[in-house]
Structures are given as structure tokens and as C-alpha cells.
Amino acid sequence: MTSPSTTTLSLVDTDPAELAVDAIVIGLHSQTGEREADAGPAGTLLLASGAESIAAAFDGKLTETLALLGATGAPGEVVKLASLGTVTAPVVAAVGLGPEPTGAAPAPETLRRAAGAVVRALAGARRVALTLPLPDDADASPALRAVAEGALLGAYRFAGYKTRPQPARREPVAEVLIAVPEAGDAGARAEIERAHAVAGAVRLSRDWVNTAPNMLRPPAFADAVAEAARAAGLGVEVLDETALAAGGYGGIIAVGQGSEAPPRLVKLTYTPAEGGNGKRVALVGKGITFDTGGISIKPAQGMWEMKSDMGGAAAVGAAMLAIAALKPAVTVTGYLPMAENMPSGTSYRPGDVITMYNGKKVEVLNTDAEGRMVLGDALARACEDGADYLFETSTLTGGQVIALGKRVAGLMGTPELCERVRAAGDAVGEPAWPMPLPDDVRKGMDSDVADISQVNAGMDRAGHMLQGGVFLREFVTDDVAWAHIDIAGPSYHSGEPTGYWTKGGTGVPLRTLVHLVEEIAAAG
Ligand code: BES
Ligand code: MN
Ligand code: ZN
């Protein structure tokens, strides 16, 4: 299932007032600080740079008109007005950017959210031009990247399954023009190309998450990923249930055995030209296509959202496609363990002892802690294949949502690598925060009968997110720098659309992973 139409970006450097588009977008700051008492209603508003020629066409009445229409410049606010012949575009749309940062351009994330919000609000228009404040120098790249990504992601819409045409539904914007000082600039053009690759990957990962879980069980998910990966020129290997059993992938088999749809392990390989810089990156993503909890069944309320329990695998699989397009100078291997966690007569059960891929014996206490079972095998396989850096991401624990909320991911692993992930997340607008792996949490997972319990032996949920990280560490070898990114909250947005987040899958942390791979390719 893919989204109905795609949106394309291009650059323009002609006068925005004369662009033949359906709508022209300008940025609007809410002014703070001291201002003259008699400034009037418009005194609270400030047009962002880039809007100069539009403002001139309105004879200096633009901020006043926007104020009359109720604009405040608050982030994400969109106010539209008819241009009535002042500029070529019939509609001018002002998007709020919040207060103007003193002496600096708005933060990239502010621009990314504004571009997303305004392109979404302009659905129904075919061609839209964005004039947003972009620095006019070498620093322009992060701002342009943010605007480009935000526009493409804000235009995303999941096709859905409605059998009747929806006449009232306005189609996403098809073409976005971004006003820049120099449209022929090689750096700017490269950013547009990169945004198509990266945002295209995020959109695909959102599609996979939003697909109904009966239409994306492990064999179908594996086929979809394998097909896209082959088309992108990646190496593809799919282990089916027979190969998994023969290979000793006890964790993946245990979780998958309760479902009629058998489990899979998909391995994707990107090989750079001439071996790249010699570094190897492994990406691992949790691919539970539906998590009922299994025999330790979840309550009905909200269970349907567990169709998103493959968000990690969706992010990793789609990140591999973006990597294939961007061609970084580093070897990247993706591992996507896929299973459906179901209760049935063949399910694994609390009390079972499972031999994992690395030989460790795990005592199962709660079949709902299934993510760590499939990930343990995938992590051990990634280490066996060899990696210098290992990034794993999963909708692993409700504890992550309790501790850090719906926007900030939890980070555990090698401290230096966690710091790199935190910085990368900060740079791309996918915040993540480091959490510890305490000895006492590991101690609490000592099992009477096996090498480790899958959760705290007394089923104490204290430090719940940390239990997940501590468990996963058992499957990573000491020679590998690793980071576990718990995305239970940020991978799925259940509220109304906001910024460049639409309802459903968000694509987090795909852009962080791509950023990290590019960084390792550039610097090692
Ligand atoms: N997939 C869930 C975690 C989850 C919860 C993701 C909420 C997204 C939103 C995971 O498999 C799970 O069920 N975790 C349990 C672990 C417990 C049984 C140790 C949890 O978080 O309650
Ligand atoms: Mn679960
Ligand atoms: Zn789960």
C-alpha cells in the first residue's frame, strides 16, 4: 500500500511576486520584546526574510492585513488571504515561525515544522511556492534541507482503504517550489535530491506502519521490503521459518510460532564503491507486525495501535533504501526480524526456556516482552557478521513513553555512541535522550533456571525501559559500539497532524540513522 500521489520539489530564484503558482507562502514571526506602544495591531507581527517582494506588492499593508485576519505568528499557524491581483499567485499563505531569534535564522526544526504545516494546510492547491527565511551563505544547507524535508513530509497522506471516492478530500500539493537566492547552486540542488531520497524513504516507512496488520504479516512485509531493496540495488537475503529454525534463531521462532503467518529475518546489504572507508555499520529494527501480547495478552483498549510494532523495521528497511540512493562510503547492513505475536495453541508461553542465536538460554516470563526475543537473535547475528557500529531501534517498552513521552526516544548502549545518536537526533529534529544500564537492573533479571530472565524475575516493572536495554546488551559482543533507540512513543503519532507529522507512523528514527551513516562515511 503506497500513498496516492507524490510531491516533487524544485528551486526557484525569480521574483516570488511573479511566480505562477496557486499559492505563495511567506514566513511570519510573532514579535516579542519592547515595541512602541502605538505600534498598532500589526506591531506584534514581523514578516520573515524572503517575503520582501510580496510585502512590497501589498504596499506595506501585508502585516496589518494579516493581523486583521487574526494572525499571531505562532509556530504552525497558517493564515491565508486572497491576493486580489497584487501578486501573480491568487493566494498568499502566512505560516507562523514564532518569535524571531535575535541575530540568527530560525532553527532548522522550526522551518521543517512550518513547511510541513503550511504544505498540509494548502492541500487542494497543485503548485505552491515557499519563501522562507534561508541564510544567504554557506550555512544555508541545514535550513534548506529542513524546508525541503518538511514540505515533502507534511504533504504525506496514507491512501487508506475507502472504496468510494472522497469528493470533499483535497489532494496533497503536487509541486513545491522553494525560493532560494541561486537556483543553480550545486549545494542547493544536492539538498533537493537528498530530500527526495530521505523524505521518500520516510513516506514509505509511514506507509508500512499505517498498513492494516492483516495486510502486512511477516511474509508480506518481508516480500515488500525485499522487492523495494532489490529495485534499489541492495543485496537481499530472506530467512524463512525453515531457515530460521535450522539456523538456531530461537527467539524469532519462539515469538513467531503462535501465528499462522510464519516469521522472517530480512538482511539487506549496501556495499559502497571500492569498499568505502572500510567501516561497517549495522542497523537492526524490530518488526513485530502485530503485538497482541501473545499468551500474556494485552487489554483490548488501544491494542489496534500495536500494528505499529514494526516501526523499527520499517525505519531500518526504508533507511537502507535512502542509503542506496545517497551512496555513502561505508558498508551498511540492515537486519529486520519479523514476527506476529499471537496467542494460540502453538504460542510460546511463560516459563519456556529459549535458546537464542548466540547460545544464551532465556527464561520467558511474559510473552508480551517479545521484541527483545526477536532482537536478541538479530543483534547476535549482526555481531557475528561483523560491525564497527550497531544501531538498533524498536518500539520496545511502554516504559519509554512513561519516562520520556511521545516525542523523545530513549537511548541505551555504549555511552560515546549514545552521545552521537543524541547529537544526530538533535540535528535532524528526532530528539533522543541517554538512559543508564544499571547493574542492579541486570541483577534483577537473574533467572533460577536459565542464563537470564526476559524481564525482572519478580515481574517488577521498575526501570522497565532499562530492563529492555540491559537484556539486549547480552546479545551484543564487546567489540561492537552499539546504541539501542527505544521509539515506543515517537514512532507513532495518534493525535491530529502537527508540523510535518501526520497521523500514524512518523518515520522516527529514519532520518537520524541516515544522518549517522553519512557522518560515519565522512569521518569514520
Ligand atoms: N510493543 C510493546 C511496547 C509498546 C508499548 C510500544 C506502547 C508502543 C507503545 C512491547 O512489546 C511490550 O508489550 N512491552 C511490554 C513489556 C513488558 C511485558 C515487560 C510493556 O511495555 O508493557
Ligand atoms: Mn509486547
Ligand atoms: Zn511489542
Ligand 1 binding site (Cβ under 6 Å of any ligand atom): 291, 309, 366, 368-371, 395-399, 401, 455, 488
Q: Which of 286, 393, 396 to mutate to test the pocket of ligand 1 (most atoms within 8 A of CB)?
A: 396
Domains 8-184 and 203-523 share a fold: no
For 416, phi then psi, to 5°, come to -65, -40
d(CA 275, CA 268): 16
> Does residue 343 sit in helix, strand or coil?
coil
CA angle 269, 418, 187 (to 5 degrees): 60
Q: Say if residues 350 and 369 touch (Cβ distance below 8 Å).
A: no
Radius of gyration for the chain, computed over Cα atoms and rounded to the nearest angstrom: 24
What is the mean pLDDT for each group of 10 consecutive residues in the chain (524 residues)? 73 98 97 56 83 96 96 97 97 97 88 98 98 84 97 97 89 97 95 98 98 98 98 98 98 99 99 96 99 98 97 99 98 99 98 98 98 99 98 98 98 98 98 98 98 96 96 98 98 97 98 98 87
- Catalytic residue list: 298, 372
Å from CA of 368 to ligand 1 middle: 7
CA atoms within 13 A on the CB side of 245: 7
Q: What is residue 102's predicted lDDT score, i.e. its pLDDT?
A: 81
Question: Can you point out the beta strands (E) in 84-206?
Answer: 91-98, 127-131, 175-179
CA atoms within 13 A on the CB side of 518: 18
> Does residue 375 sit in helix, strand or coil?
helix
Q: Which of 363, 368, 484 to mutate to test the pocket of ligand 1 (most atoms within 8 A of CB)?
A: 368
Strands 8-12 and 481-486: unpaired
Q: For residue 441, give the H/E element and its range.
A: helix 439-443
d(CA 368, CA 350): 10
pTM: 0.97
C-alpha distances in angstroms, 349 versus 57, 288, 295, 472?
Answer: 71, 17, 6, 20
- Ligand 1, atom nearest to 293 Cα: 13
Q: What is residue 502's predicted lDDT score, i.e. its pLDDT?
A: 95
Å from CA of 247 to ligand 1 middle: 27
Domain locations along the chain: 8-184, 203-523
Å from CA of 270 to ligand 3 middle: 28
Q: Say if residues 434 and 411 touch (Cβ distance below 8 Å).
A: yes
Pick the CATH number of 8-184 from 3.30.565.10, 3.40.50.720, 3.40.220.10, 3.90.600.10: 3.40.220.10
Pick the CATH number of 203-523 from 1.10.10.10, 3.40.50.1010, 3.40.630.10, 3.40.1030.10: 3.40.630.10
d(CA 235, CA 165): 39
Q: Say if residues 516 and 416 touch (Cβ distance below 8 Å).
A: no
Q: What is residue 188's predicted lDDT score, i.e. its pLDDT?
A: 96
Q: What percent of the chain is helix, strand and coil (3-state, nearest 5)?
A: 35, 20, 40
| Closest residue by CA, ligand 1 atom 3 | 397
Q: Say if residues 279 and 271 touch (Cβ distance below 8 Å).
A: no
| Closest residue by CA, ligand 1 atom 16 | 369
Q: Which three cell numbers stand for residue 387?
A: 560491525
What is the number of other CB atoms lying within 10 angstroms of the CB of residue 337? 36
Q: What is residue 1's predicted lDDT score, i.e. its pLDDT?
A: 43
Q: Which three cell numbers stand for residue 296?
A: 500474556
Q: Determine the longest span between alpha carbons in the chain, in angstroms.
A: 80
Å from CA of 369 to ligand 3 middle: 7
| Closest residue by CA, ligand 1 atom 22 | 398
